[in-house]
């Protein structure tokens, strides 16, 4: 039986703009390679670094900035899981690595989904497996032209 996932998006990063349908299409491509075995809501949350770090500290006892935090499925609440992404971290990393914000945020979402499926990146061997899967999904997204249309609106405070 194919699982039924509903994607619920919460954008708490005021300058981040995207079309929700394109983001959902992006996840459909990911699901074609890696399907979750439960039904329910997959929550995707875009956050500013400060809020993301608070969550990281509260739940993982580590207040350092990070890129992605995932919360596993909770079938009692009909949740397939939650992926929380730090947009500020993605902006910094995309500039440092000279890749698009679109690509960096997409990687974070793929990384989060793989964590929800049970992939891990703490041990070196597990990290290699996860990186290989991330690359495989990124390649498929590129071939399918299914990139989300992430854009940053201009910062009114800098004008």
> pTM of this prediction?
0.89
Phi then psi for residue 48, to 5 deg, are: -80, 155
Residue 145's region, left for phi above 0, alpha for psi from -120 to 50, else beta, is left
* The CATH number of domain 5-148, selected from 3.40.390.30, 3.40.710.10, 1.10.10.10, 3.40.190.10: 3.40.390.30
Contact 11, 148 (CB under 8 A): no
pLDDT for the residue numbered 157: 62
Q: Which residues in the chain land under pLDDT 70?
A: 1-3, 36-38, 59-60, 62-63, 156-159
Contact 13, 49 (CB under 8 A): no
The C-alpha atoms of residue 88 and residue 57 are separated, in whole angstroms, by 17
pLDDT, tens digit (0-9, with 9 covering 90-100), for 21-42: 999 999 999 988 877 666 789 9
């Amino acid at each position: 039986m194919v699982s039924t996932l509903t994607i619920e998006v919460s954008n708490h990063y005021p300058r981040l703009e995207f079309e929700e349908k394109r983001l959902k299409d992006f996840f459909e491509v990911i699901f074609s390679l890696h399907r979750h075995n439960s039904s329910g809501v997959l929550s995707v949350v875009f956050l500013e670094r400060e809020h993301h770090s608070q969550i990281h500290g509260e739940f993982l006892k580590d207040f350092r900035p990070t890129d992605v935090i995932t919360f596993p499925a909770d079938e009692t609440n009909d949740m397939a899981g939650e992926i929380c992404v730090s947009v500020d971290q993605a902006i910094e990393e995309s500039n440092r690595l000279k890749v698009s914000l679109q690509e960096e945020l997409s990687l974070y979402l793929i990384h989060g989904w793989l964590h929800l499926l049970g992939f891990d990146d703490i041990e070196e061997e597990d990290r290699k497996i996860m990186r290989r899967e991330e690359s495989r999904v990124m390649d498929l997204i590129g071939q399918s032209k299914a990139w989300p249309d992430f854009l940053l609106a201009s910062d009114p405070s800098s004008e």
